[in-house]
Amino acid sequence: MNDEIRYRGRTPGEAMRKARADLGENARLVDSRRVPVRGQTPVYEVRVLPPGVHDESMTPVIPAVAEAPSVEPAPLPPKPVEARAAKRWIEVLQQRGAGEEVAQEIVAAAGCDASGRDAWFKALRTVIEDRFGESHPENPPGERSTVFVGPTGAGKTTVASRVASELARRGDAPILVSADGESIAGEDTLQAVGEALELRVETAFLDGQVQALVEELGAEETYLVDTPGRAPFDEDGLVSVRRLVRSLPDPEVLLVMPATTDMDEARLLVRGYSMVGVDRVVLTKLDELCRPGRILDLAIAVDKPIALVTFGRGVHGTSSAPTDVRIVSRILGPSFSVS
């Protein structure tokens, strides 16, 4: 109908937020669809009715003659298999930890016309992949100098070690730098990883030492820098981390936080570390979540591409792009009998 207004975004939720920002919280979703854009990442388009506008397609037909004889209403047709499956998948995503709005958006965006678990799983996986932004396996961390930042205990040292291990497996030789002079365990871990992988390990606990190291070894090297834990309101500490980042050639900054992080806390972390310049986020300790689907909401809260999701303890645990089938399988659950 003509009163409908269209909005676009990277996800259906983003498009609806734009609509509600313009039209108010009572704007009503009519439908959503995925829109391919040549040469760009596909976007989602939603059709929305402004508050107070009546959708005639939703109006029941009323008999024109009030005196018409009453008739027994015909039995309702059985609900289509696809509609039943969609409702069930929304329930599954919520059971797995996703919020109600997020679960509805994902299932609506999947828009699977076919029945059967395989068709639904593939459609849902595509939508979940899109929600994580630039997180494809061909764009892994460590392609350039990388600084791992975040709160204490988030798993920065472990992530740095795993990235170093993957680079060494591919034949690269990054330089491991421990800039965390407050954690002996972190330095010891990097030293042990460096010895095992035959990689060079340096310490740079004071301001200016990373810059001196780059001047000595050359800007063409790849540096993986483990930093001390900093709270998002520790301005002096974050200023020091920012100086470290700026002393590296073309660095990528990865904000590391546990997957168990509260949504509000996650937003505060991103806001606080904005002075450092966060490129992507790493979610650690997925195995500590009883309901892994909550990382779908967490991805919205941080509003940054998710570079890695990790689970398992120690250097030999698993680190995967969030688009990896292992991560999606954890989100959707071990059983795909929903159809």
Q: So what's the pLDDT on residue 49?
A: 79
Verify that 273 and 157 share a domain, yes or no: yes
Interatomic CA distance for residues 273 and 269, integer angstroms: 6
Which residues contact residue 87 at a Cβ distance below 8 angstroms, ignoring those fewer than 6 apart? none
Question: Does a structural domain hold residue 11?
Answer: yes
User: What residue numbers bound the domain in which 304 lies?
Assistant: 146-322
DSSP symbols for 132-165 = T-S--TTS-TTSS-EEEE-STTS-HHHHHHHHHH
Does 10 fall in a domain?
yes
Q: Is residue 75 part of a domain?
A: no
Q: Roughly what angle, to the nearest 10 degrees, separates helices 117-131 and 325-332?
A: 110
113 within some domain: yes
Q: Residue 232: what pLDDT?
A: 92
Asked, for residue 306, whether it belongs to a domain, the answer is yes
3-state secondary structure (DSSP) of residue 172: coil
The tokens 């679960």 sit on which residue?
103
Structure tokens at 198: 């035959």
The answer to whether 295 touches 283, Cβ cutoff 8 Å, is yes
pLDDT score at 246: 95
DSSP secondary structure of 201-263: EEE--STTHHHHHHHHH-TTS-EEEE-----TT-HHHHHHHHHHHHTSSS-EEEEEEETT--H
Q: Distances from the Cα of 259 to the Cαs of 284, 292, 306, in angstroms?
A: 5, 8, 11
User: Is there a domain that residue 104 lies in?
Assistant: yes
Are residue 169 and residue 311 in the same domain, yes or no?
Answer: yes
What per-residue confidence (pLDDT) applies to 174?
A: 95
Cα separation, 89 vs 68, whole angstroms: 42
Burial class (CB in 10 A: 0-12, 13-18, 19+), 87: middle
Q: Using the structure block, give the residue that is written with the tokens 């009163």.
A: 3
Rounded CA-CA distance 22/20 in Å is 5
* 237 Cβ contact list (under 8 Å, min separation 6): 228, 230, 231
The position carrying tokens 């020091």 is: 240
Residues 255 and 161 reside in one and the same domain: yes
Q: Report the C-alpha gap between 28 and 213 in whole angstroms.
A: 57
User: Is 330 a domain residue?
Assistant: no
End-of-domain residue from the set 132, 161, 191: 132
Residue 175: in which H helix or E strand, if any? Answer: strand 175-178
Residues 6+ apart with CB under 8 A from 39: none
Is residue 64 assigned to a domain?
Answer: no
Q: Domain check: are 202 and 253 in the same one?
A: yes
Q: At 236, which CATH number? A: 3.40.50.300
Q: What pLDDT is stored for residue 59 in this prediction?
A: 42
One domain for residues 201 and 112: no
Which residues of the chain are under the pLDDT cut of 70? 1-3, 30, 38-41, 53-82, 112-115, 133-138, 184, 314-316, 334-339
- Residue 57: predicted pLDDT: 46
Q: What is the pLDDT of residue 120?
A: 79
Q: Number of structural domains, the chain?
A: 3
**Does 151 lie in the same domain as 128?**
no
Are both 176 and 280 inside the same structural domain?
Answer: yes
